[in-house]
Amino acid sequence: MLAVFAASVLLGLFAMNDVAIGVFQDDGHYLILARALAEGAGYRYTNLPGAPAATHFPPGYPLLLAPLWWIAPVFPANVAYFKVINVALLPLAALSIRAFMRRVASVGAVAAAGIAILSVASVPLLYLTGLLFSEIAFIVALCWVLILVESRVARAASSWRDWLLVGLAVGALALLRTVGVTLLPALLAVLGLRGRWRDAGIALGGALICLLPWQWWTSLHAHEVPMAVAGAYGGYGPWLAAAWHAGGLPFARDVIAENLRGLLIPMTLFGLAETPAMVQLVVSLALAAVAVVGARVLWSRAPVTVALFVPYLTLLLIWPFPPDRFLWPLWPFVILLVGVGFAHFIRADQPRPTRRAATVAAVSAGALFAWWHAQAWPARSWESGERANARIGLAAAGVALALPTDGLVASDQDAMVHLYASRPAVPLLALTAEQHVRGRSDDELAAQIGGVLDAYRPRWVLVVQRESLRGASVLAKRGRLKLRGADPSGVLVYDVVR
């Protein structure tokens, strides 16, 4: 335990960086919501005109961040405090992973420590630690909820209070990250297979105690933001339903195909990102087969954890968004399944050729994993994208600071403009479900920006990203925008023509 704690503290400090908050929108939105809660404004987007209710993110992570606004209420001087949150959470995540391995999976002390350190030392988790994202907190919560759930499932009989607590814990997990709701069908399925319908009913009731108020809130405020910005600020339900209704089965097919390709991303961690797709597919299928064997071995000890992969991966396949952000919170459990699978094939009672092949495969996978990380760690290559985004976001905020304060700004860097220029800002191009499977045309981009102009009537438009420039150029030709100037940093400023 001490080794896990010490190693993960050092890894957390290593992962910490000085990159501005707001570089990927989500991190900026978490901070805006945390400030609103801390200042008593409610769970609302105070950066948007009218401060509409927040329905995009569940409130768990902003509630975790909010107390820091009381301790350090001056932005951006308090950025370092918020950066420390995930640095402090990483050791908790490592210890939680170790506790799960020991208590639920019955893994030996050394192996449990190895899985915990290997998990948090992986580049994706180091990358997430350096950002104000909720995944690290979710890993901590997921491990302890699974420990609670598996302990109650293993008992022949538990009181109704135990199952009410289980249900409340599962519901609370979904309020930290929406994808946590997939644990509920996994739990109910395992209890149903065992004929424990009373326990399933009580657990469902406990989960609904947490989930129904949030669903009521999102339904009540579902239409407070215009559709033009729903992908960034609206609820998931209407946004996804509109895309599925418009695209039908072809859209569903394209999303699944795209996400299947996206699930090859773990191959990057083994240095196989540049290899032919067929090589990546073969290696992925081989590791998946080993993981399935590991799942069979673990089923008797951790049935809910194994069952969780079914609804979780199903959601990853049908959700029109790159699957890696959803995949990494399950990374410690993927390592567990693969490790247990390899251990099964290396057992003494297996035929010698099977043992040799499994040993070679396991050693090769470990060597590739270590070699790629040895290249990535010194260069901190995972930070290049966020640093580039920070430069352009801060440049947009600097331009916004120079504009008069009597008008609203629309920008593709709205979160950073609001945070670092201290003025309301609305987005230009919120995420659409369709763009996950196809690029948007210039006319579609112009129509979305036009929807923002109609809904919020901003005075200026600040453009940095290429897609925004394409849409703004169309609107400039149509006379809706007029180029005001260009900042040396690459920020274009348009006046909105009334």
Residues 149-186 pLDDT 10s: 999 999 988 899 999 999 999 999 999 999 999 999 99
For residue 435, what pLDDT band results from cuts at 50, 70 and 90? confident
Would you tell me how many other CB atoms lie within 10 Å of the CB of residue 373?
A: 18
Q: Do 457 and 427 belong to one domain? A: yes
In a domain, 406, yes or no: yes
For residue 307, what pLDDT band results from cuts at 50, 70 and 90? very high
Q: Do 312 and 273 belong to one domain? A: yes
Q: What percent of the chain has pLDDT over 90?
A: 86
Res. 60: pLDDT tops 80: yes
Q: Please report the pLDDT score of residue 438 as a whole number.
A: 86
- Give the range among 221-235, 301-315, 396-410, 415-429 with minimum mean pLDDT: 221-235
Q: Please report the pLDDT score of residue 445 as a whole number.
A: 94
Res. 246: pLDDT tops 90: no
Q: Do 470 and 415 belong to one domain? A: yes
- Give the range among 132-141, 285-294, 297-306, 426-435 with minimum mean pLDDT: 426-435
Q: How far is CA 110 from its chain centroid?
A: 30
Res. 455: pLDDT tops 90: yes
Map residue 283 onto helix, strand or coil.
helix
3-state helix, strand, coil in the chain (%, to 5): 70, 5, 25
In a domain, 315, yes or no: yes
Res. 247: pLDDT tops 90: no
How many angstroms separate the CA atoms of 264 and 257, rounded? 12
Res. 217: pLDDT tops 90: yes
Q: Please report the pLDDT score of residue 239 as a whole number.
A: 77
Res. 291: pLDDT tops 80: yes
Structural domain of 413:
385-496
Res. 237: pLDDT tops 80: no
In a domain, 213, yes or no: no
Q: Which of 136, 125, 119 is nearest to 60 (CA)?
A: 136
Q: Please report the pLDDT score of residue 71 as a whole number.
A: 93
For residue 330, what pLDDT band results from cuts at 50, 70 and 90? very high
Q: Do 417 and 359 belong to one domain? A: no
Q: Which of 239, 185, 208, 180 is nearest to 58 (CA)?
A: 180
In a domain, 94, yes or no: no
Which of 336, 356, 379 represents a domain boundary (last residue)? 379
Give how many domains the chain has, as a whole number. 2
Q: Do 407 and 490 belong to one domain? A: yes
Would you tell me how many other CB atoms lie within 10 Å of the CB of residue 477?
A: 11
For residue 61, what pLDDT band results from cuts at 50, 70 and 90? very high
Q: Please report the pLDDT score of residue 245 as a whole number.
A: 80
In a domain, 53, yes or no: no
Q: Do 339 and 366 belong to one domain? A: yes
In a domain, 291, yes or no: yes
Q: Do 322 and 430 belong to one domain? A: no
Q: Please report the pLDDT score of residue 479 as a whole number.
A: 95
**pLDDT of 346-362, one tens digit each?**
988 889 999 999 999 99
Q: Do 277 and 374 belong to one domain? A: yes
How far is residue 10 from each of residues 5, 15, 75, 98, 120, measured CA to CA in Å?
9, 9, 27, 17, 11
**pLDDT of 75-91, one tens digit each?**
999 999 999 999 999 99
For residue 223, what pLDDT band results from cuts at 50, 70 and 90? confident
- For the record, the structure tokens of 301 come out as 């000890």
Residue with tokens 């006319």: 443
Q: Do 301 and 286 belong to one domain? A: yes
- For the record, the structure tokens of 121 come out as 């030392």
Q: Do 331 and 389 belong to one domain? A: no
In a domain, 356, yes or no: yes
Which of 379, 408, 431 represents a domain boundary (last residue)? 379
Q: Please report the pLDDT score of residue 136 as a whole number.
A: 97
Q: How far is CA 120 from its chain centroid?
A: 16
Q: Do 344 and 437 belong to one domain? A: no
In a domain, 21, yes or no: no
Q: Do 314 and 285 belong to one domain? A: yes
How far is residue 178 from each of residues 56, 275, 277, 388, 494, measured CA to CA in Å?
10, 34, 31, 29, 37
Which of 379, 397, 420 represents a domain boundary (last residue)? 379
